[in-house]
Amino acid sequence: MERGSPLMTASPQTKKSLATRTRKSARAIAFSILLDVEKKAAFASEMLHARLAGETDAREAALVTELVMGTLRWQRTLDFFIERYTKRAAAKLDTEVLVALRMGVYQLRHLQRIPVRAAVNESVELARRARKSSAAALVNAVLRRASAEKDKPPADCLLGDLDPVKKLAIEYSHPTWMAERWLRKFGQEKTIQLLEWNNRAPAQAISIVNPLRAAETVESLKNEAFEIAAGRLLKNALIIRKGNVTSAAAFQNGSIAIQDEASQMIPLLLDVSPGNSVLDLCAAPGGKTIALAREVGASGFVVACDIHESRLRMMRERFEFTGMKNVRLVALDGTRALPFMGKFDRILVDAPCSGTGTLARNPEIRWRLRAEDLAALHLRQVALLTSALNALAERGRLIYSTCSLESEENEMVVEEVLAANREFRTEPVQIPEGRLAEGMQAGEVIEENGALNTFPPAHHTDGFFAAAIRRK
């Protein structure tokens, strides 16, 4: 049925029927995505983009996104209530049943516009469709109990003698170890701000791939009824306040990319000039590579590397689509000695990391990451930075960055590598003049030690760290 047909403006009963079908479809899509996240370790944002790109029904896309991301953000709190009502560990439930229950409890507690009956009945139906009919009675009983307590705060249900950190972690839906280390690092007030921030939907920031066509791109978005605001940090960044940007023509044709403002800031710190040679050691998915290639121009070049050839193939398609001809792709393991004969004027090491600065955007990370993973990540990051330094030219500049809030992945990596390589030193990062948004001062994101640090609740971005390194 096409949009705008007479049926879309028929009787209230018909409207209700259509709305119900939309909600059912949205729940089925969300359920499928959440199962892939749980069973296949898929990333929710990638699944949403793939499933909703070009989606014409904005209400359905919005509901799918809300159900998926909301359920993942509040997963620990939801599991607490599920265990409260089932009297068993959530991990012992069949995955399909657990996901259906999580979605149901989330709707009851967080989506006031969803009728209780719809949240309960549709969750039962999801379990049945997943061939878990034997659990339908359990799902129905649990959600009936949950509906009776849907307005009761989690704190009122927690035992008074429960460890305070564990209580905080359950209430704000984070792993206990994560809350504990942030309390040590940031203190109570900033930690609660961070926990609260991670449970909200972040702003959808976009970058314009070709600044020369910025006005045309913005006009295209406005013509499609997207609500656009200026970036908070960067002059050329845009925030999508309303609308599913993956359905935009500008997204489909590669004119824009979804990219957090802090992420957009990282390539600027290299201070690339036309004609420079640039090494992007951990380049995928390529957003920063495009920005660097644009700055070096036709007289320069960027060597973009990644360990996974499949990701390089995707990058090649993206670069060809956007007309980038000065990027050379190389598959390599950056932790080993690099194969390049020459030196590079600029090097970016945007290292693979825990991603704890992106938990609002990638909520599933908090359930996969373990405290002991930080040590392994640290070793890999030290190896990446060490090998990259050997490729840096005299008077060249290297930027080491992560989207992590953890010292083990940030300051401690830089300190360890420079202690073993005395011919290098750090210097304050610098944001090129004219790149910051109006009213924004560099000192708001650059600390006294010269490193860039964005803190999500304070800057309304992902949490990023960046340090600049030169030869002495």
Q: What is the CATH number of the domain that holds 327?
A: 3.40.50.150
Can you give the pTM of this predicted structure? 0.91
How many whole angstroms from its chain centre is CA 368? Answer: 14
Q: What is the pLDDT of residue 458?
A: 96
Q: In the predicted model, what is the mean pLDDT of the chain?
A: 91
Residue 252 pLDDT class (50, 70, 90 cuts): confident
| In a shared domain, residues 266 and 241 | no
Q: What is the pLDDT of residue 55?
A: 58
Label residue 50 exposed, middle or buried (CB < 10 Å: 0-12, 13-18, 19+): exposed
| In a shared domain, residues 277 and 384 | yes
Averaged pLDDT for residues 310-330? 89
| In a shared domain, residues 290 and 433 | yes
Label residue 326 exposed, middle or buried (CB < 10 Å: 0-12, 13-18, 19+): middle
Whether residue 176 contacts residue 165, with contact meaning beta carbons closer than 8 Å, is answered with yes
Gap between the Cα atoms of 224 and 463, Å rounded: 31
Gap between the Cα atoms of 283 and 371, Å rounded: 26
| In a shared domain, residues 148 and 229 | no
Dihedral, 356, 291, 201, 80 alpha carbons, nearest 10: -30
Is 164 part of any domain?
Answer: yes
22 has a pLDDT exceeding 50 = no
Domain boundary among 99, 133, 157: 157
Placement of tokens 């990062």 in the chain:
429
Whether residue 205 contacts residue 260, with contact meaning beta carbons closer than 8 Å, is answered with yes
Averaged pLDDT for residues 11-25? 42
Averaged pLDDT for residues 43-66? 84
| In a shared domain, residues 409 and 329 | yes
Is 1 part of any domain?
Answer: no
| In a shared domain, residues 377 and 253 | no
- pLDDT digits over 269-291, tens only? 999 999 999 999 999 999 999 99
- pLDDT digits over 131-186, tens only? 988 899 999 999 999 999 999 999 899 877 889 999 999 999 999 999 999 999 99
Give the residue with greater pLDDT, 324 vs 427.
427
Gap between the Cα atoms of 334 and 349, Å rounded: 9
Strand partners, 160: none
4 has a pLDDT exceeding 80 = no
Is 216 part of any domain?
Answer: yes
- CA–CA distance from 337 to each of 137, 235, 386, 424 (Å)? 59, 38, 9, 18
Domain count, the chain: 4
Residue 461 pLDDT class (50, 70, 90 cuts): very high
| In a shared domain, residues 374 and 266 | yes
Is 96 part of any domain?
Answer: yes
Q: What is the pLDDT of residue 362?
A: 97
| In a shared domain, residues 237 and 287 | no
Is 467 part of any domain?
Answer: yes
| In a shared domain, residues 273 and 329 | yes
Residue range of the domain that includes 374: 261-471
| In a shared domain, residues 331 and 453 | yes
Is 150 part of any domain?
Answer: yes
| In a shared domain, residues 427 and 285 | yes
376 has a pLDDT exceeding 60 = yes
Averaged pLDDT for residues 83-111? 97
The CATH code of the domain that includes 11 is: 1.10.940.10
List all residues 6 or more positions away from 411 whose beta carbon is below 8 Å from its beta carbon.
449, 451, 465, 467
| In a shared domain, residues 75 and 178 | no
Label residue 45 exposed, middle or buried (CB < 10 Å: 0-12, 13-18, 19+): middle
Give the residue with greater pLDDT, 24 vs 293.
293
Q: Show the beta-strand stretches assigned E in 243-366.
A: 256-258, 277-280, 301-306, 327-331, 344-350
- How many of the other CB atoms lie within 10 Å of CB of 225? 9
The CATH code of the domain that includes 241 is: 3.30.70.1170
